[in-house]
Structure 1
Amino acid sequence: MYFTDRGIEELTARRGDESVTLEWVSDQLRTFVDLHPEFETPVERLASWLARLDDDELDDE
């Protein structure tokens, strides 16, 4: 188990029954980066990865 799995499990446990929009998630990511600018690069990579999940090039990686 990765250390990040605990955070993901907490997110699911606390908010797993909620429905949210991608706009809401984007706003939360922006707020997080505003508060923690040292995480700008990983958040950018995650957002780009999520945005491109359906791209054919991801299948080649």
Structure 2
Amino acid sequence: MSIQEVRNEIDSLKEILNKMASNEKNIYTNSELVNLSQKLDILINKYIHMTMSS
């Protein structure tokens, strides 16, 4: 996965999370939101690692 692909996926997940969170009162009880948030964290860390090593 290229740096740009990771960045695009991060942006896409952020958009999904923002839409879901705006409609959710108890964010931490929604397992889908929690899973997306965890996936986003992993992608952000991967992106940071990729950009620091290039």
Q: Give TM-score, length-normalised by structure 1.
A: 0.35
Larger radius of gyration: 1
Q: Give TM-score, length-normalised by structure 2.
A: 0.38
Q: Greater share of helix residues, 1 or 2?
A: 2
